[in-house]
Structure 1
Amino acid sequence: KVWGCCPENWMVSNTSCYFITSEENNWTESEKKCTGMGAHLLVINIKEEQLFITQKLNRKSSYYMGLSEPKWIDQWQWVDQSPYKKNVTFWHPGESNNHKQHCVFISFLNGKWGWNAASCDMPQKSICEMMKIYL
């Protein structure tokens, strides 16, 4: 049999492990911290993943995820290079079109979880994701 597991203190889902940071950093530093743990900032590919993650978050905090818009490209990109699918997004109303805000975080606003575009140097908590380790 093949066993899938995650590092200690990480949350387990179908194929991924998640770690929610308690410290706040800018987006680049957040991604570096995730990379240092063998992970990357959170990439949301399906609705169920968004629901799983948001059930574990504190409504009073905001969390960087692995979606950004490098200034020279003018297009949203995931840190793991997976395709950005407009039909699998959870933007708060009016949030995805501010061209001065190039990084994305998840926050609880008006009674629901969603994505916000933000300045990349704003300190936030973050969510790291890695594939399960199979033994």
Structure 2
Amino acid sequence: MESEITYAEVQFKNASPAEEVEVPQKKKKQEQRTQTYPPWLPWLISLLLLLVCAALVVALLVTHISRSCDEPTALQLNLTEWHCILAVPQGKGRGWKCCPEGWKRFQESCYYFSADQMPWDESQQNCSGMGSHLVVINTKAEQAFLYKQITPKNTYWGEGINLYIGLRAQEVGQWHWTDQTPYNVTAAFWRPGEPSNSTNEMCVVIHHEKQNLRNWNDVPCSIHSHRICETAAVTI
């Protein structure tokens, strides 16, 4: 008996074309999304933020420095009339040196010679109230300038005038300048025989006499004398 051969028809359900294409399309969309921004863009953004921060810091520093330079001193607030001299050639920045009207300029400082008289402590307070201090003499050139200012004709000062300077002793022989400048014996201009280093003579005056550059004298701090105030010249 011949064996029967049975054929079974097996059909496989093929995927639809739409389903075959669906997966690649999703992959393409994901690839497109991941490549939207170039890899160097975050570095560029970081660099720009850093530059902006640096620019802000520089601007703040410049503003602070400018305000510090332009901030008026007590002397500038109290006095409004100024006398200015061009100290450097034009075109080379800030070069006008200015002193209040009635003050005398020498190098980088302005000097005020008082017409009234008072004790040393009150003299220092008076100078301080104008944004200055009793004069501190550092060089022979400065001493010569002060001497010259006291000697012009038609002055209201007579011979033998005393003017307080910013030199004082807390202990006998221990001289100190009012602005804490170290006392330099080589730049001191005592009269012959001075200082007397007496316990009741702890302050110093310029005792003006003609043709005598060495004119410092220690005196009691309570005597009423004229004074010389000093402050830094204003540069504009």
Common fold: TM-score over 0.5? yes
Alignment of 1:21-100 (within 5 A): 21-57=114-150, 58=157, 60=159, 61-71=161-171, 74-100=173-199
For the 8 Å contact 1:25–1:123, the answer to whether it is kept is yes
Instruction: Name the structure with the higher strand share.
Output: 1
Per-residue CA shift, 1:11-64, capped at 9, x if unaligned?
Answer: 011000000000000000000000000000011000000000111114522100
What is the one-letter code of the residue matched to 1:70?
Q
Aligned CA RMSD, in angstroms, stands at 1.5
Please give the secondary structure, in 1, of the residue aligned with 2:205.
Answer: strand
The residue type paired with residue 32 of structure 1 is Q
Conserved in 1, the CA contact under 8 Å of 2:173 and 2:197? no
> TM-score by structure 2 length?
0.54
Equivalent residues, number: 134
Moved more, 105-114 or 39-48: 105-114
**1:119-134 equivalences in 2 (<5 Å):** 119-134=220-235
- 5+ unaligned residues in a row in structure 1: which ranges? none
SS in 2 for 1:94: coil
Query: Take 1:108 and 1:20, find their aligned partners in 2: how far apart are those partners?
Result: 13
Greater share of residues in helix: 2
Larger Rg: 2
In structure 1, give the amino acid aligned to 2:187. V
Contact 2:205 2:219 in 1 (8 A): yes
Structure with the greater relative contact order (CA < 8 A, sep ≥ 6): 1 or 2? 1
TM-score (norm 1): 0.92
